[in-house]
Amino acid sequence: MFNTHFIKSNFKYLLFGFLMTFCSSFGQTFFLGIFNPLIREDLNLSHSEFGGIYSIATLVSSLTIIWLGKKIDDFKLRNFALFVCLSLFFSSVFMSQLSNYLHLIFAIFFLRLFGQGLMSHTSSTAMAKIFSKNRGKALAISWLGLSLGEGILPGLVIYFLNVLLWKKIWLLIASFLILFVFPLIIFLLKNHKDNTVHLDEQKINIKIKHWTRKEVLKDLKFYFLLPAVLCPPFLITGIFINQIYLFENANWSLNYLAISFTAYAVFTILSLQISGYLIDKFSAVKILPFYLIPMIFGFIISILFKSILSPIIFFIFIAVTNGTANVLMTSTWSEIYGTKNLGAIRSVTISLMVFSTALSPVLFGLLIDFGMTSLKILLYMLIYALFSNLLLIVKMRSYKPIIIA
């Protein structure tokens, strides 16, 4: 799906995007969760206390992204990327010196903000601004960085925990960021010129209006799209946080849990590449009304069928939607609202997505505490996904971009 000429011609930009999403791993839940029991033991925290601190820090970071994320439109890309990298370096050093509850709140806040939030935000915004005709391919390749992080970092951390104290691992992360990532960003963006046309813009004759964030927030269409945008991160976070309960309560064998996650990782990567190709061929707006359908099928299968393969099939279908979403949403905002103020626009959606991932564990935890079964929870998930997809179909059916003559 990717010809070697495209990769060779744009290798530095693609590697930059890949590198930034890989480094976002250091602020992602899958990575921070590995240190959960060690932090709780050091600070004598209960599960609920740690969860509360994590949610508060995540919520505050989601609000901060709205302001800080838009700065990528105002500063040179290299300077902004170096600022994010340097901030994540200091955040990692700060985490390595953890000593009390307040310290933990700020440490998680910084890691979520500069890791999960701004590293991935910088990558996607840069790929969308630099590329136009091949935007889908560029985004798909860049998001492989996170897939690599999900694949190798948990194993590496578990290995190092056998020989090092957990705080020393954060010093290793800090060293990696300042000694390898920081100079590599300088090299990769050495000749980048901001405020220039896309690398392949000359191949596209249509020019759409570039919306401001204020205009987007007044656009009804934006709010019709939001439920669908927030659907995968909100629901998948809820599933992953409560994976053991969902498996046991649904009478799914825990022996299939590892297989399900392996299938999830493989199909996320596959869907990234396929969706990137389809977006470039047909446009993101045309793909958008269909991207929740695999997840919807996954919920239906998990509710109606009691096969031992149900959890694996379920994870495969939600992986297809999640992988597609990583590429699709940035491309969608670019096609609908233009790229000039993309950083400001994405900062709002990223903030809401981070907020949804903070709210999800709390809401799902309450449903479980009230005694709701896995099947009922999955049914409510299905209803939300169907409602979100209906809004997409209704609003995007008659969509036409605003063309500038």
Q: What is the per-residue pLDDT across 25-48, written as a single tens digit (0 to 9) for each? A: 999 888 888 888 889 899 998 877
pLDDT at position 123 is: 95
pLDDT for 363-380, tens place per residue? 887 888 788 888 899 999
Q: How far is CA 78 from CA 74, 176, 342, in A?
A: 12, 18, 17
pLDDT for 322-363, tens place per residue? 999 988 888 888 888 888 888 888 889 888 988 888 888 778
Residue 3 pLDDT > 80: no
Do 196 and 213 lie in a common domain?
no
Domain residue limits at 167 = 4-201
Do 265 and 126 lie in a common domain?
no
Do 147 and 288 lie in a common domain?
no
3-state secondary structure of 403: strand
300 belongs to a structural domain: yes
290 belongs to a structural domain: yes
Do 179 and 282 lie in a common domain?
no
Number of domains in the chain: 2
pLDDT for 47-72, tens place per residue? 778 878 888 898 899 889 988 988 98
Radius of gyration of the chain (CA): 21
pLDDT at position 145 is: 93
Q: Which among 140, 173, 201 is the end of a domain?
A: 201
Do 181 and 235 lie in a common domain?
no
Residue 405 pLDDT > 50: no
pLDDT at position 202 is: 47
Do 97 and 118 lie in a common domain?
yes
Residue 397 pLDDT > 80: no
Residue 142 pLDDT > 90: yes
d(CA 60, CA 358) in angstroms, rounded, equals 10
Quick one: CA torsion of 62, 276, 20, 150, rounded to 10 degrees? 80
d(CA 250, CA 337) in angstroms, rounded, equals 43
Give Cβ neighbours of residue 173 (< 8 Å, ≥ 6 apart): 26, 92
Is pTM beyond 0.85? Reply is no
Do 154 and 302 lie in a common domain?
no
Give Cβ neighbours of residue 15 (< 8 Å, ≥ 6 apart): 188
pLDDT at position 205 is: 46
Do 219 and 120 lie in a common domain?
no
Reported confidence tier of residue 74, pLDDT bands at 50, 70, 90: confident
CB 356 within 8 A of CB 270: no
pLDDT at position 55 is: 84
Do 386 and 293 lie in a common domain?
yes
Sign of CA dihedral 6, 7, 12, 16: positive
274 belongs to a structural domain: yes
Q: Which among 201, 236, 268 is the end of a domain?
A: 201
Q: Take residue 87 and report the two structure tokens written for it.
A: 């901030």
403 belongs to a structural domain: no
Read off the pLDDT of each residue in 13-22 and give the average, rounded to a whole number: 96
* Burial of residue 8, with CB atoms counted within 10 A of its CB: 0-12 exposed, 13-18 middle, 19 or more buried: exposed
Nearest to 222 by CA among 61, 50, 344: 344
pLDDT above 70 as % of the chain: 94
Q: How far is CA 387 from CA 9, 155, 196, 294, in A?
A: 42, 38, 40, 14
402 belongs to a structural domain: no
Do 243 and 172 lie in a common domain?
no
Do 105 and 60 lie in a common domain?
yes
Q: One-letter amino acid identity for 117?
A: G
CATH code: domain of residue 37: 1.20.1250.20
Residue 195 pLDDT > 70: no
Reported confidence tier of residue 1, pLDDT bands at 50, 70, 90: low
Longest dimension (CA), the chain: 64
263 belongs to a structural domain: yes
Do 144 and 27 lie in a common domain?
yes
Residue 297 pLDDT > 80: yes
When the pLDDT of each residue in the chain is averaged and rounded to a whole number, the result is 87
Q: Which among 168, 201, 234 is the end of a domain?
A: 201
23 belongs to a structural domain: yes
401 belongs to a structural domain: no
Read off the pLDDT of each residue in 190-211 and give the average, rounded to a whole number: 64
- Other CB atoms within a 10 A radius of the CB of residue 337 amount to 26
